[in-house]
Every structure is written in structure tokens, then in C-alpha cells.
Structure 1
Amino acid sequence: MGFVNDVVPISVTGRSPELDELLTLVARGDETAFERLYDRLIASVFGLIRRVVRDRAQAEEVAQEVMVEVWRTAARFDPARGSAMSWVMTVAHRRAVDRVRSAQAASDREDRVARMGGEVAYDHVAETVTTRLEGERVRRCLDGLTELQRQAVTMAYYGGYSYPEVAGLLKVPLGTVKTRMRDGLVRLRDCMGVER
């Protein structure tokens, strides 16, 4: 994950008034503040998630999900209850644990189906239908992105390319890829109707 190499992780201990202020501005919809917050926190977020999830590609995906969640739910941050760093890291840890549990549940389902002699359980069929419907919805929302945003998001999430690889393939600077991804993910969030 190239963007992590560009940023030095900051300490998760102690309080940073600057981060608290940035998160407060993000809660008001300030995209510039979100950019700065993203750049300051992504390495620490990724590091925490990587320790829980272990798989680098999964950790990259979860880190992006966390940052989208931070953008959507920044208004829930209460500086009186803790620092911005601890709030974001709590979100990251929760998402990482959810991903591990989800992977374990999928593995358990596959084991049950295998023990049943290959019969497909009802919940598996319902899950497959739900997944297909969600996939169609995502495709429609992807069509609403600019061509450059769609290329970056598609290459990273469907092609499995890291940000530096996407930058190399598109022949654009890494910062441009990060901006396209962030803006594309914000537009996808809005299209999918996810509340902030």
C-alpha cells in the first residue's frame, strides 16, 4: 500500500489538538480538512488493521473503509470523551475485528456446506442473492463517477492493484491516485445512500 510508505505513523498515545480540530472540521463537511486528516492518520490506521487482519490486501481495503466511515460519521466524535486519534483507532479496530469475524463466518459456512455433502444451505442462497443485488447497485454507482475516478477505484478494488501500481499503470502521480480514490469513494458513499 504505497500511501502508507509516504507517511510516518503518528503516536496513538497522547492528544493532538490539531487532529481534534481537523476531525471537527470534517464533521462539518470540510473536504480539505479530511484530506489533511487522511494523510496524517492513514499509516497508523493501516498499521493497526494490518496487525489484526494480517493480510495486506484485506488491510488496505479495510483501511479505506475506515476512512470513509470517518468521513461519514465524524459528527459522532466528541472531544470531551477522548482524542480524535483514539476515536479513529477505535473505528479501525472495530472494522478490522469485523473483517476477521466475517472471514471466519464464511469459512465456517463453507465447512458446514462441505459436511452436508455439497447441499447449499438456505442462508447461503439468500446471501448470494443479496450480494448480487448489492453488486448491481455498486456498478450503477460506479457509472456515476468520472472516468478517472472509476479507473482508479476499479483498478484498486476489483483489479487488486496497490495505489503505487495504479499510479504506474495510469501514468499519474501517486497523490493524484489518492485524490481520485478519496473523491470517488465519497461519491460512491453518496450514491449508495450511506448517511454521514
Structure 2
Amino acid sequence: MAAVPSQADEALLDAVARGDHTAFATIYERHVRTVFRFALSLGISPRDVEDVTQEVFVVAFKKAARIRTADGSALPWLMVTCRNLSYAHLRKRAKDHANLDAGEHDVADPTASPESRALQAELSLTIAEAIGRLSPRDQELVHLCLDRGMTYRQAAHALGVTDGTVRNRLSRARAELRSSLRGAFREQGS
């Protein structure tokens, strides 16, 4: 049975678990741009964004039967997996940079100093960790409204909720992020 684009991700994942490649292609097409942009926002190098995005969907294909959806959507699971794989790439890059000889330079951004790159990577990790502590629904709202620039109305339509729900949840998510980031920066400063 061919997958229909309007099917919920949950039904598509069940089909993927049974070997339906068309269902997997539907999930991939539905979410690849969002996962790609999210990976890019996490501070990994542009050359690694494509690899991380591909890895997310390879893992999704392998674990389709065990993926838990949120309100029928696989996006929260994909985003958490993307975040985890991105962190792994950032840790690997940091380790690689630490092992570089003093005279070698990173070709990703030749104008940035090592300190600047390290601070940027640390800031990206801190922000991503703070977002990762939000509920999957709030992570999705942050992504839709803050990363993708959707209006409350557009996000409400995409999620099937009211504008007021988006406004309230996003306000609460922003407050949680501010509090979490303040705490992280206080810890780093001490």
C-alpha cells in the first residue's frame, strides 16, 4: 500500500517498520528541511549538517518500529535525534581541534580565531541543551516561531492549536529558556 502524504507520521512509521520505502520517503520529504535547518542552527559546520541530517533519517529508518510520536508527528523525535547527533559531531570537532598542532587552522572559517570558534561552539551547545530541556511540543514551537520565523497563526495552523495556545506556550518556553541560559552562564562565570 502506497503512503499518502496526508497520513500521520505514526501510520507512516508503522509502514516503514514493515519495509515500506514509499512511507519512509514521505516522512523524509515531510521533515528533511526542518531537520536540516535545525542541525544548521546548532552550530555544526555546514559540511557536517548534511551528514547529520542523513544520519538522523538512517537512524529513523532503522528504529521506525520504536519511534514514539507526539500527537502523531515524528518531528520531535527527529529533532531530539538531530540534536544528539549534532552534539556528537560538535564533541568530535572539539576533540579534533584540541589535537591540532598550534600552527594549523580550521578551514571552515579562516577568519575566526580559535577562541571565537570555541566560544561559538560552547554557546551553541548551551542554547541547544536549554532547548532540549523543553517539552517536545515546546521545542517544536521554538523551532517554528523562532528558527523558521512563523507567525503565531502559522504555527497554530501547523500544530492544529489556537493562536492563544501558541502565544502562551511560547511565552512560557521563552521564560524557561531565559532562566536556563542565565543559570548556565552563571555557572560558566563562576
* Higher RCO (Cα < 8 Å, 6 or more apart): 1
**TM-score under structure 2 length normalisation:** 0.46
TM-score by length of 1: 0.45
